[in-house]
Every structure is written in structure tokens, then in C-alpha cells.
Amino acid sequence: MLLFSGDNRFIYYNEPGAMHQYALSLGVPEEVIVLDFAGRSTYDTCYRAKEIFGIKEAILVTQYFHLPRALYICHVLGINAFGVPADRREYSTGPWVYWNIRELPATLNALWQVYVTHPLPVLGEPELISFPGDPMNRNEAIAIVREFIKNENLIRHMLAVEGSYALLC
């Protein structure tokens, strides 16, 4: 299953919708896609993955610069997560410095959230993800994700908006 999570608070900004449309254009079957429109932050995405969608184990696909933070949050919240970076390009010096400096306060905020404030994101009714057929073993799933990324296919291009997430569950 593919859980696409991201922000959708503004009329012209829809991270999960962009990933969904691109996945469909590549022939990914609708029935293996689940959308989470309330993943407004990394913490929200991980929290909702567990509490709303019932995710216990996932392959987290996002940009390299915040993959460690996302994996850490998932682990602290009880999701056994593995990560695969999906950068769409090589970053020039300016953006590389910006995104890496941005990670310092973002990481401090993540630590504050998981250990001190425990904020509740937008919740709602549980939408437990069901798995069609036999679940794929972790090594096969990771190999498939890496192949997609290596060939600049599916996942790499679905992350059309910086900061969005695809969780393969």
C-alpha cells in the first residue's frame, strides 16, 4: 500500500493530491493508494500513520535532508520504519545549506514534540489500511523502492513538492 501524506490546507497546495495524480498517470492502481491530507508536519504524518491508519511498519520515502528526522519520529512513536531518500535533483550550494540549516531547528522542534509537548494533530476516525493479498517482505519492498528511485520513476517524481512523504506500508 502507498500512503501519501502531506499538507492540503490551502486551495492551490495539495501535496498528497499531486503524488496521487502522478502515481495514477504511471499506472499505479487506485486500490493501493491511500491519501492523508492532514500530514501538516513530519510529526503529524508519523502520528497519523500510526493512530489513524494503523501503520506499524513502513518504508518512508522523502528527501534526504530530513529523512533522519522523519525516521526518528516514526521510531519514537512506535512505527518500525526504514528510509529511502528520494531527492529529485542534486542541490546546489545555496539550497543545500538552507535545507541543512533548516533541519537544526526542525530537529529540535521534533525532539520537543516527541518528548515534551506531545501535540495532537488533526485526527478523525480511524481508517485502518488493509492489505490486498500477502504482504511483501521488507527486503523485496526496499528493493522495489530503490529500483523506482534509481530509474527516476514512480516515487522520485511523486515527491513533486518538497516536504511531502510517501509511506509504503
Per-residue pLDDT reduced to its tens digit, 93-118: 887 788 778 888 989 999 999 999 99
Cα–Cα separations (whole angstroms), residue 162 to 7, 46, 68, 128: 11, 17, 15, 27
**Of 28-32, 121-125, 137-141, 154-158, which range is least confident?**
154-158
pLDDT at 153 over 80: no
pLDDT at 154 over 60: no
Q: What is the pLDDT of residue 31?
A: 79
Q: What is the pLDDT of residue 160?
A: 38
Calculated CA dihedral for residues 138, 142, 147, 153, nearest 10 degrees: 110
Instruction: For residue 89, give the C-alpha cell.
Output: 535533483
Q: What is the pLDDT of residue 140?
A: 62
Reported as a single tens digit per residue, the pLDDT across 130-146 is 655 445 555 665 565 55
**Whole-prediction pTM:** 0.74
Q: What is the pLDDT of residue 147?
A: 61
Cα–Cα separations (whole angstroms), residue 113 to 19, 51, 102, 126, 137: 27, 16, 17, 22, 32
Three-class secondary structure of residue 52 per DSSP: coil
Average pLDDT of 4-20?
Answer: 83
Average pLDDT of 147-169?
Answer: 48
Tell me the sheet residues that pair with 61.
84, 166
82-87 long-range contacts, CB within 8 A, separation 24+: 82/58, 82/138, 82/142, 83/59, 84/59, 84/60, 84/142, 84/145, 84/146, 84/149, 84/155, 85/61, 85/149, 86/61, 86/62, 86/149, 86/155, 86/156, 86/159, 86/166, 87/63, 87/156
Cα–Cα separations (whole angstroms), residue 49 to 27, 69, 82, 92: 24, 16, 14, 32
pLDDT category of residue 159 using cuts at 50, 70 and 90: very low
